[in-house]
Structure 1
Amino acid sequence: MDSIQTIGSPLMWGGFIAFVFAMLALDLGVFHRKAHAISFKEAGAWSAVWVSLALTFNAVLWWRYGSGPGMEFLTGYLIEKSLSVDNIFVFVVIFTALKIPALYQHRVLFWGILSALVLRAAMIFAGVAMLERFHWLIYVFGAFLILTGVKLFIQRNAEEHPEDGWLMRTARRVIPSTPKFDGQHFLTVENGRKLATPLLMALLLVEASDVLFALDSIPAIFAVTRDPFIVFTSNIFAILGLRSLFFLMAGAMEKFTYLKVGLSGVLIFVGAKMALVDVVHLSPAVSLGVIGLVLGASIVASLVKARNTPPHEPQAPTPDDAKLPSATKA
């Protein structure tokens, strides 16, 4: 089988990686040096920055290498961006369950996503190498995505409790921890013992969830292109914008009732495209149109339902409720 071609020269790889580290240093070292709760306005501004940078990069690819690589990057970016939204549902559950204050959530996500960049780079290069050597794996990936999409649809309304999963139970047994916070530190010292704070536990869950989601998102982009540079850059741009997207959407996730239906549709479509790659050939433009249509329809349907659903009226407390202690604020 012919080796997979790439548009990425060593200079382009080096330049892109240097750009990523420069943006991360600017993010943490300048704009978020002091812990603070991320406002909706700040999250919106950063989301616009990351999307603008991705589209600018896409325009450069389009201008330099033509519509083929340009369309592949745009389609891959849309796939990764849409699938990363599912991470947000889990992040909301993690921070709520562990009562992580809004003041420290950005720090947890920053380090979680930084490790995710390294992990995804390794998975992408491993995936490209395996597909180059074992073509039949494309059918395995396709079937896996179809099954994942069906499972997501069936379990779309199921409540998630990652704080009660095997990872957290194991971590609590293996890692000495405390339920107390020590500012924005992941570790603290109590009675001469170094203990993990809830921030470290949240970080472990964030990283574990990204591993699981990467198993879906990385094979999905191989349905569009196997150019490692396009796969890597589109994936990284989507991940870099995930933190700001979380703070932008976290408070309104309950309004997107049908979003998981749309995401399941994307996974099933992409999986079918991979499984039928030797029979049906769809251009990146057609794939982009189908994915955009499915996601757009799910978002519009969700907003229409949210608009037509009357708000829940708060129930008056009963005498028994009045005796209960108030909930601890996150």
Structure 2
Amino acid sequence: MDNALPLWFEVTSLIVLTLILVVDILIIFKRPHIPSMLESGLWVGFYAALALVFGGLMFAIGDAQHAAEFYAGWLTEYSLSIDNLFVFVIIMARFSVPRKYQQEVLMVGIIMALILRGIFILLGAALIENFSWVFYIFGAFLLYTAWHQAFRSHEDEEETEGKLIAWLRGRVTMSPEFDGAKIRTTHNGKRMFTPMLVVFVAIAVTDVIFAFDSIPAIFGITQSPFIVFAANIFALMGLRQLYFLLGGLLQRLEYLKYGIAFILAFIGVKLVAHAMHENELPFINGGQHIEWAPDISTVASLIVIVASMAVATIASLIKAKVTPVVATPAEDEFISETDDTSTK
């Protein structure tokens, strides 16, 4: 599959994407600020346009199959990233992270996510290369994740993170206040950690959870490690700006989790069907391939992904218009601060 994409294209792409991330990081650390809605919107639009252009280059240099796999993978990862943002909003509000330092926290979270997903991508690619039956496991995991996505609550995630954070606080001496974005500071003449350490731990836990969900999902669309990694980079690129653009509006997308759950379930079924086609397990069909299993194309997957997100978003907007959603205290704080920023 990767043979259709020349090595120079893959290497050049990774170098350019890395440089873009480095520039983004330098801008944040040299000029920490609260981005306006306009600034966030322009950046999100820029990264989305960049992803569309990248897919076009894959079509021109490779073929339509490569482009379709990239678009399907990117949209899947992007939809999961939007759900990830809701947890970020809760974490930032719960620990009262100063707004002008939230960009730095998000960027560190994104870098951690890239590293974790890079590790999982390499592990996933190695497993797929050597054990075709791993698709059964990936498929079953995604079906479970889809069920959990549809019926879980963010309160459950908060409870899990809360136990970890309580354990950390009980073992680490921590200052009562933040000191910018520093992890360590001096308080009353003693060196100690700041609450920023707890924030980074909470973000890291969230990254691990979502990496476990997203990597099997995209391997259900393509087995090309390059496309998997590129789709993840593009999905995470605009995450920081999307956080400030959507912010408290995320709760209004009430049916978003059902759209994501349907996508995960669909890809889970696709993975199981693929495993049946490649079946070599002796206790299933005598170790023979199961030819009657449905063969779901990448184009069909792309259509299902786009349709699922469109239906979930439109249904959410209609529901929000008919029945206004009551924002949580965390969201009220986020919305009020965003409004203050946009009016300046």
TM superposition score normalised by structure 2? 0.85
Output the CA distance in 1 between the equivalents of 2:95 and 2:160: 7
**What is the aligned partner in structure 2 of residue 194 from structure 1?**
191
Q: Structure 2: any 5+ residue segments left out of the alignment?
A: 278-292, 328-332, 338-344
The aligned counterpart of 1:253 is 250
The answer to which structure has the higher helix fraction is: 2
Q: For residues 120-148 of structure 1, what are the alpha-carbon distances to aligned partners after superposition, in whole Å with 9 as ceiling and x for unaligned?
A: 11110110110111111101010000011
Instruction: Quote how far apart the aligned CAs of 1:82 are.
Output: 0.5
Q: How far has the Cα of 1:46 moved from its partner?
A: 0.9
Letter of the 1:224 counterpart: I
Aligned-residue CA RMSD in angstroms? 2.2
Report what 1:42 is aligned to: 39
Write the mapping of 1:59-98 to structure 2, written as runs, cut at 5 A.
Answer: 59-98=56-95
- Asked if the contact 2:252/2:325 (under 8 Å) is kept, the reply is no
Per the alignment, residue 147 of structure 2 pairs with 150
Report whether the alignment pairs 1:282 with 2:296. yes
Partner of 1:322: none
Contact 1:113 1:207 (8 Å CA) reproduced: no
Mapped to 2, the partners of 1:159 and 1:212 lie a distance apart of: 13
Q: Does the 8 A contact of 2:178 with 2:195 survive in 1?
A: yes
Aligned partner of 2:52: which letter? L
State how far apart, in whole Å, the 2-side matches of 1:210 and 1:149 are: 18
Aligned partner of 2:97 among 93, 96, 100 = 100
Could you tell me how far 1:5 is from its partner in structure 2?
4.4
- More off after superposition, 211-220 vs 6-15: 6-15
Aligned to 2:122: 125
1:304 aligned to 300, 314, 318, which one? 318
Aligned to 2:213: 216
- CA deviation profile, 1:219-244 (whole Å, cap 9, x unmatched): 00111110111111011110112111
User: Which residue does 1:20 correspond to in 2?
Assistant: 17
Secondary structure of 1:195 counterpart: strand
Residues 63-89 of structure 1, C-alpha deviation per residue, up to 9 Å, x if partnerless? Answer: 111101010000000100011111111
Deviation, structure 1 residue 18: 2.1
- How many pairs were matched up? 313
3-state DSSP of counterpart to 2:222 = coil
**Matching residue's letter, 1:307:** K
Which residue number in structure 2 is paired with residue 58 of structure 1?
55
Q: State the shift of 1:160 in Å.
A: 4.0
Residue 244 (structure 1) aligns with: 241
Aligned match of 1:180 in 177, 180, 187? 177
Query: How many Å apart are 1:175 and its aligned residue?
Result: 3.1
> Which SS does the other structure have where 2:240 is aligned?
helix
Deviations 1:289-312 (Å, cap 9, x if unpaired)?
Answer: 111111110100000011112576
Evaluate the alpha carbon distance shift between residue 101 and residue 13 of structure 1 in structure 2; reply closer, same or farther with a 3 A threshold.
same
Query: Structure 1, residues 150-186: CA drift from partner, whole Å, max 9, x if none?
Result: 1111125756426853321232233322230112322
Cα deviations by residue, 1:178-232 (Å, 9 ceiling, x for unpaired)? 2301123222112343322222211111111011101011100111110111111
Q: Which moved more, 1:159-168 or 1:30-39?
A: 159-168
Between the aligned partners of 1:229 and 1:36, the Cα distance in structure 2 is: 34
Q: Is the 8 A contact 2:87 2:154 kept in 1?
A: no
Change beyond 3 A, Cα 1:44–1:206? same
Where structure 1 has 5 or more consecutive residues not aligned to the other structure, the ranges are 314-326
Letter in 2 for 1:309: T
Q: Which runs of at least 4 in structure 1 moved beyond 6 Å after TM superposition?
A: none
Q: Distance in 2 between matches of 1:19 and 1:211?
A: 26
